[in-house]
Each structure stands twice: as structure tokens, then as C-alpha cells.
A and B are shown apart, each in its own frame.
Chain A
Amino acid sequence: MSTARTSARQLGVALRAVAVLTLALGLVYPLVVTGIGQTVVRDQANGSPVAVDGTTVGSELIGQSFTDENAAAMPQWFQSRPSAAGDGYDGGASSGSNLGPTNPELAALIEERRTAVAELEGVDPDEVPADALTASSSGLDPHISPEYALLQADRVAAERGLDAGDVRALVEAAVEDRTAGVLGESRVNVLKLNIALSELDT
């Protein structure tokens, strides 16, 4: 058989193979996984939604911003990290800032955030933790560090006229340790903490 003819034959085989495999791997496989997901782990498959009084207010996994229309922090809520997703926590535009380590723009942003957080919390600029100064990788980080959460407790308590000790206890109860003691970092889920806060406030 000539090379041209075998090549043509190979292309025919390839065409049929891609067609059949596309049906199997591109339709049957994901639909079976969807079927299992939607019956066995429905909650997770649909994005781990969180509801307050029966109304969905977001996802346990997706961070949200607690800022007003001018992007200023709303002092009665625990604040999330800075976000580079759209105008902040835009679920349709996940992204980090991608600012490089030696980029002066990043250094300026960090200083700006340090001043703003220190002023809001009434603390020394050196006390502001790293996660409060930096945008996350996804722009949808649902967590802050326990240090940043505790830093905010007194301000939140004062704004709401709550006992500072009660709010601090709320934060401490919300701290999740490293998984199995070694994986990842300890953290606080901001949305869940704020829901617990609003329950405490009523």
C-alpha cells in the first residue's frame, strides 16, 4: 500500500475514533458524574449554598465583599481579603492581581491597604496581617486568617453595640485549624462568621 493511501486510511480511522470517543468522554461520562452528583451529594454539586431565613445569600465556598457601593468597608461586618476578581468578589471574573513581587504598583497598594486597615481597626500599621494586605489567587477567597478576624472583632462589636468578649468568642469558635493538623493553613470563613454575627445581634 502506498503511503498516501495508508495516510488517508489512518485519517478515516482517526475521524471515527474522535467521533466515538467524543460521545463517550464528552457526553456520557460527564452526564453520569452529574447524575451521581445531583442525587448523592446534591448540596456540594450545586455549589454548597448558604441560606439565611430560607433565602440563599451565597456559597459557603465563595467569598463575598462587605463593602458599600463606594467600595468602602461596612464597619458592622467582618471584612474579606482584598480581591482582584472584577470590582471585587465577582463570581463571573475569578482572578488574582498577577502583580509581580518587585512591581511598585503592588508595593503602593499594600501601603494603601495597610493604612486603611490600621485606621479602620484603630491599630498600629505593623499589626495588620499579610492576608489583609494582599489579593488572593482566585479573588474569591472565602477565608481570612484568624489574626485578621480577631483584629476586626472589637470594631465590629463597637459598631453593633455588642460585648467585645462575645464577638471574640464568636471568632474563636469560627477558627478552622489545618486539615489533619498539617494541610493548608488555619482560617476563618468570613461569610459564616458574619452570619453567626448577625444571629448574635438579633
Chain B
Amino acid sequence: MGVWPAVASFLLVALLLAALHRPLGDYMARFYTSSKNLAVERGFYRLIGVDAASRQSWQSYLRSVLAFSAVGMLFLYALQRTQHLLPGSLGLPPVPEGLAFNTAASFVANTNWQSYSPEVTMGYAVQLTGLAVQNFLSAAVGLAVAVALVRAFASRKEDTIGNFWTDMTRSVLRLLLPGAFLGALVLLIGGVIQNFSGFTEVSTLSGGTQSIPGGPVASQEAIKLLGTNGGGFFNANSSHPFENPSAWTNLVQMVLMLAIPFSLPRTFGTMMGDRKQGYAILAAMAGIFTVSAAAMTALEFSAATGEAGSMEGKEQRFGIAASTLFATTSTATSTGAVNSMHDSFSPLGGMMAMLNMMLGEVAPGGVGSGLYGMLILALVTSFIAGLLVGRTPEYLGKKIGPREIKLASLYLLTMPTVVLAGTALSFAVPGIRADVQDTSILNPGLHGFSEVLYAFTSAANNNGSAFAGLTANTPWLNTALGLAMLLGRFLPMLFVLALAGSLAAQDRVPVSAGTLPTHRPQAVVMLCGVTVIVTALTFFPVLALGPLAEGLL
């Protein structure tokens, strides 16, 4: 143990991202604004019947998002229900209705919440052609919506915001697929498995027997992280030695999760023709991330003076520092992969994972969703700043009128409403409460409450990590969390696209002496302040009932 290796690991991650964000961010800006299509893309557009040159109104863009996600969800549901008929299913039965609904919602909403244990539930057919495919597609949808919003900020008096089908296709073919392929090769070298062997029985050294799992893991692991999905091939997720064999693959996994979210501000700045605006967003994201990572690491280290040394639910090859940095990365993006069991973290260390999600996952957030979430907060910050000094509020040359601020407010209210209503209903309705307490909750007392709060926070933010002692495969939690994931994903997208529509229709107000600058340190600090205060005011009471009380008592 020690502080300096922890700091050095953090700096190593920061250094790699610093090197990566410029080429990656510029590359994304180039291909999202390009009018040229690759040959394979032209073939694909012909096949699916899309005119790549056409542009969509925000309503039409939204309909495409919803149609694509609805078809994806139905397909994934059907796949699970017919698993027993498919080849390579390891003899597993069809997934029950409630669980199949929850899982389909989960993977289409980029959440990857898993109410099930993969080893005994999902065969290779569902993992490959269902879950891993949605790891690509749900990430591409998030990216498309973010790019549509950026395009709207950059455009003048347009009634269109882009073409969903080309944004989605380019996200997959030019970014996620090549990135996942490279990531999979690196993970393969590091020891992540890629085979179709099923379970192999071996006689162990001391004469016992052990069942060694197989599976096409590396290909799925790479996109699980790059697309900030997080759904493990195995129950133990990224703590399973076949998913994450060593400390250096652990570093690769963290960089894969953070690469796109931390590069998108550069893409945004480039597309706006004003890179400083991108760097202001990046500074706010990086600032919050750094403070959060330091806090969780310090809290777990200080709990390690206790009798079990904070090692319950942690792997020896990672220790405390590589576990907390991974946990921060995973919950501050919308990934939700775990390399240690958050349920066994110290009360306040576990609360940091919850707080990262409660911030709305904007520092840096999921692929696409992190950027649009932070841009909404930047808009609200400019609104507040404008009112404070008595100027017409505007952001990036767009006036913030009643319609814009209403949409931004609705966006910001959606997630907390879903989290708090879901948690409250779990305890307020007597029948549900009995079920949640008797069947679902593992740990007694305040920590049990935290398990349920964590679950709804994770679902509504499309994170997917858990205080995994909670048994979520029950009718109530499968249904409620499934709805929370869908509402937490697609309602905000509706508001973002509606906002994009009204921003695109505006002209850009030229910068004048009366314009409040949004790229200076003062603006960055104010953006961080608004982000933290909105979250703190919303969630302080409920945190006081759970992890705060548990940690301070």
C-alpha cells in the first residue's frame, strides 16, 4: 500500500488520455462533419434504405432513435426467450419473461445492469449476437444524440439537426468497431480469453476438481468498456481474472472507458470552431473526476486501518488504489463495470460511487451522454450567470429563452425523479417493502437501504454497477429497474433533441462586449459549482438516510 503508487497510477492514466484526446477528438469531429461516405457505408445505406445526404428535423431524428432502440430491444428480448433453440447456448433454458425484459431494456439503454449471473443464464448465442451487439449500438445512439446537439449549437437558422442513420453508422464503423478490435487484441495479449470451449473440468494440483469457463470474452470485453456499457461476460465482471487478468490490463480497461468521453469535449470545441469552449468543458469534467477519485481512494485507505484492511471484495493483484481508481472511472462514466465489489466498500467509499452517478454522470460521463449532460449544465450555468449580472442569458451565441430553459430543467429533473420515486416506492408500498426486505436486500440495517438506493441510482443513470448483494431478479425490481433504465435513457434524449431543434433554428448572436465569456477559469468553476450544488441539494437527504448515516454512526 502507499499513497505514491496511487498518485502515479492516476497520473499515468491522465497522461495517456492527454496524449489520446487530441487525435481522437479531432478524428471524431472530422468524420461527424464529413460529407463523404465510405464504400461500405454506401452499401449499408442502400441495403437499409436510407438517403445519406438527407437531413432530419429533431422530431424525425428522435423517431429514428426510438425506432432503432425499440427494434433492438424486441430483438434482444426474443433472442433470450428462444435461447434454448439457438446453437452455442450451453444447454441453458430460455430466460424468464421478467428477466428478459429487464436485460433487454438494460442493454439497449446502455446500462448493462445485470439482474442475473451470466455463467448460469446466458449462452454464447445471446452474449454474442444480443448483448455484445447492443454494446455497440446503444453506445452509437448516445454518440449520435450528442453530435446532433453540438451540430445544433454550431448551426444558424436550420430546421434540421443531422441524419441519425449516418451519425449512428459512422459511430459504429469508424470509431467503435476499430477501437474495440484494437482493444480486444491488446486484452488478448494480456490474457483475456477468446474461445468457444464451454466449461472444462480439470483435476487440480491438490487432487480436487475445478470447472474452468471459456467464452468469446476479449471481443465483448473491449466494447463493454469502450462503449461505456459495463456488462460483464462473467458474474464477477472486471474482477474475473479471465476478463481482467493483471494490473496492466486494468490500466488498459480504464483508458478504454475514458478515451471517448474525455475526447468528446475536443470534438465539440472543434465542431464549434472554438476549441477553448471544448477545453472549458473538459476542465470541468477533469476537475470533478480528480476530486472524486482522490476522495474515494482516501476514504478506502483510511478504512483500511480497520481489521480487514479494506480487502473484502478486492483482488490482490489490484489492491486498494487500482480498485478505487477503477470504481471512480466506472461510475463517473456510465460504464458500471466493477473490478471490486462496491457493496463491501467502506460506507463513505461506496457513497462516492453513488455520488459519481448522482452527478448525472457528466464527469466525464458515458459516450455521448456525458457531453450532452455537461452541455445542458453549461447552458443552465450561463442562464444563472446571465441573470446574476442582469444580461440576456446566452450560451455559445444562442439565446436561452423560456423554451430552452424549460427543456434543460426537464432534463435535469428526470433522473432524480426516477431515482427517488423508485427508491421511495420500494419502501413505501407495504407488499413491495416486504418483498424488497425479505428477498432482495442482503445486508442488514442502513446498508440494505443503500443497496436499493444504489440500484435505482445506477439504473436511472444507465450505469449498471450495483451493490451486488441485492437480489434484483424479482418481479418488482426487474420491472421497476427496467422502467427506470428506459426512462433514464430516452426521456433525457427527448429533451436534448428538442433543445437541439430549438437551438438549430436560432441565429448565432455575434460575440460583443456584453457577452459573458464561457471559456475562462471563472466559468469553469461556476459550471463545477452548479453541477455539484444541483446534485447535493437533490440527494443530500437520501444520502443522509443511507451511506452518510452508516459511515458516521
List A residues at the B interface (Cβ < 8 Å).
Answer: 6-7, 10-18, 20-22, 24-27, 29-30, 32-34, 36-38, 40-41, 44-48, 52, 55-59, 61-67, 74, 77, 81, 85, 89-104, 106-107, 110, 114, 129-131, 133-145, 178-185, 187, 191, 194-195, 198
List B residues at the A interface (Cβ < 8 Å).
Answer: 1, 4-5, 8-9, 12, 44, 47-50, 60, 63-64, 67-68, 70-72, 75, 117, 119-120, 128-130, 132-133, 136-137, 165, 168, 172, 177, 180-181, 184-185, 188-197, 199, 202-206, 208, 210-214, 216, 218-220, 234-236, 239-242, 245-248, 250-251, 303-304, 307-319, 322-323, 338-341, 343-347, 350, 442-447, 450, 467-469, 550
Kindly name the residue among A6, A62, A77, A133 whose own CB sees the greatest number of chain B CB atoms within 10 A: A62
B119 in contact with A92 (CB, 8 Å): yes
Kindly name the residue among A6, A13, A46, A77 whose own CB sees the greatest number of chain B CB atoms within 10 A: A13
A–B pairs, 28, beta carbons within 8 Å? A14-B71, A20-B44, A21-B136, A21-B172, A22-B133, A25-B177, A27-B129, A30-B219, A45-B188, A48-B245, A57-B205, A58-B204, A58-B212, A61-B241, A64-B206, A65-B204, A67-B206, A92-B119, A92-B199, A99-B343, A101-B303, A101-B350, A101-B550, A106-B312, A142-B241, A180-B248, A184-B318, A184-B319
For B194, list chain A residues within 8 Å (CB): 30, 33-34, 37-38, 45
Docked complex Cα distance between A117 and B137 (Å): 50
B319 in contact with A137 (CB, 8 Å): no
B344 in contact with A46 (CB, 8 Å): no
- Given known contacts A29-B177, A99-B443, A94 and B235 CB-to-CB distance under 8 angstroms: yes
* 3 interchain residue pairs of minimum CB distance: A130-B309, A184-B247, A185-B319
B236 in contact with A94 (CB, 8 Å): yes
- Given known contacts A29-B180, A133-B307, A94 and B216 CB-to-CB distance under 8 angstroms: no
A21 in contact with B133 (CB, 8 Å): yes
B236 in contact with A139 (CB, 8 Å): yes
Closest to A137 in B: B239
For B446, list chain A residues within 8 Å (CB): 102
B240 in contact with A94 (CB, 8 Å): yes
Docked complex Cα distance between A46 and B469 (Å): 31
A184 in contact with B211 (CB, 8 Å): no
Docked complex Cα distance between A67 and B208 (Å): 8
- Given known contacts A94-B234, A96-B341, A135-B312, A14 and B67 CB-to-CB distance under 8 angstroms: yes
Separation in Å of the B501 CB from the closest CB of chain A? Answer: 16
- Given known contacts A58-B205, A96-B344, A130-B311, A185 and B193 CB-to-CB distance under 8 angstroms: no
B307 in contact with A110 (CB, 8 Å): yes
B71 in contact with A18 (CB, 8 Å): yes
For B442, list chain A residues within 8 Å (CB): 98-100
For B205, list chain A residues within 8 Å (CB): 52, 57-58, 64, 66, 77, 191, 194-195, 198
Separation in Å of the B421 CB from the closest CB of chain A? Answer: 25
Option from B49, B189, B219 in Cβ contact (under 8 Å) with A16? B49
Docked complex Cα distance between A156 and B50 (Å): 70
Option from B12, B64, B189, B242 in Cβ contact (under 8 Å) with A14? B64
For A34, list chain B residues within 8 Å (CB): 194-196, 216, 219
A44 in contact with B192 (CB, 8 Å): yes
A134 in contact with B49 (CB, 8 Å): no
Docked complex Cα distance between A100 and B313 (Å): 10
- Given known contacts A17-B48, A44-B192, A92 and B219 CB-to-CB distance under 8 angstroms: no
Closest to A95 in B: B235
Option from B309, B323, B341 in Cβ contact (under 8 Å) with A98? B341
For A136, list chain B residues within 8 Å (CB): 239, 313-316
B343 in contact with A98 (CB, 8 Å): yes
B219 in contact with A65 (CB, 8 Å): no
For B247, list chain A residues within 8 Å (CB): 178-179, 183-185
Closest to A69 in B: B208
A46 in contact with B308 (CB, 8 Å): no
B206 in contact with A98 (CB, 8 Å): no
A93 in contact with B239 (CB, 8 Å): no
Docked complex Cα distance between A15 and B188 (Å): 33
For B318, list chain A residues within 8 Å (CB): 184-185
